[in-house]
Structure 1
Amino acid sequence: MTSERHILLVEDESAIAELIRTALEASGLRVTACAGVQSALNAVEQEPVDLAIIDLSLPDGAPDRLTDRLKGSGVPMIAISGDPARLAAFTPGHTLEKPFRVRALMDLVRGMLDGAAG
């Protein structure tokens, strides 16, 4: 992974967002963090991303518009949620059920970015 990789993080719980952001940045990744669907849509309009990590339970609604936009652009996604039913319905993409270990998320991020590069 290179420091040029840009990650979109969409998570409304600030403590979780900060934990994930810190781990991603410590791995040399650039992170744009958003707390909701609309701010994330605005962010991807401004600048392309290499990977998105998206909480499926957000205060401004389900992230369908965002995930459809990212799918259309070929951006790989990781869905995170404490709701197993929401995760089961998420396609295509990888999922992690909350609570999860940051190491598990980072392993998934590395694998997806390395796979996209090769």
Structure 2
Amino acid sequence: MTSGRHILLVEDESAIADLIRTALEASDLRVTACPGVQSAVNAVEQGPVDLAIIDLSLPDGPPDRLIAELKAGGIPLIAISGDPVRLATLTPIPTLEKPFRVRALMELVRSTLDSTAK
């Protein structure tokens, strides 16, 4: 995996966010974790992001606008949710249904970053 890549993690459940952050940082990725849509929008405005991992159920509303902005900016993303019906609406975006194995997430992160390597 390319070191130093910047991952935006949008997840409001702190235990899940901590687990994902630990796995990403162990792979030499820089992580900005946000608990909601607005903080994620602010983070994107602060600088470049190589990949976003976004939970679809957030306390400040659905991340649809954020997802549209990321896609428009050419930023790849992975959607995570416990709602398989909601995940299905996002095809062809890579998705993972909760609960998922960290290894599965890391493989998806690796393949997504590899496919967008500059």
Q: TM-score, normalised on structure 1? A: 0.97
SS class of match (1:117): coil
How many Å apart are 1:93 and its aligned residue? Answer: 1.0
Tell me the residue number matched to 1:18. Answer: 18
Q: How far did 1:48 drift? A: 1.2
Cα distance between partner residues in 2 of 1:56 and 1:39: 15
**Which stretches of structure 1, 4 residues or more, deviate above 4 A after TM superposition?**
none
Instruction: Report 1:33-112 matches (<5 A).
Output: 33-112=33-112
Secondary structure of the corresponding residue to residue 28 of structure 1: coil
Residue ranges of structure 2 left out of the alignment (5+ in a row):
none
Deviation at 1:92, TM superposition (A): 3.9
1:28 is displaced (CA, Å) by: 0.2
How big is the shift at 1:10?
0.2
Q: How many residues align?
A: 118
Q: Distance in 2 between matches of 1:3 and 1:14?
A: 25
Aligned-partner residue type, residue 71 of structure 1: K
Supply the distance in 2 between the matched residues of 1:111 and 1:101 (Cα, whole angstroms): 16
CA-atom RMSD in angstroms:
1.0
Percent identity, please: 79
> Normalized against structure 2, the TM-score is what?
0.97
Q: Deviations over 1:63-92 (max 9, x none)?
A: 011101100100111000000111011144
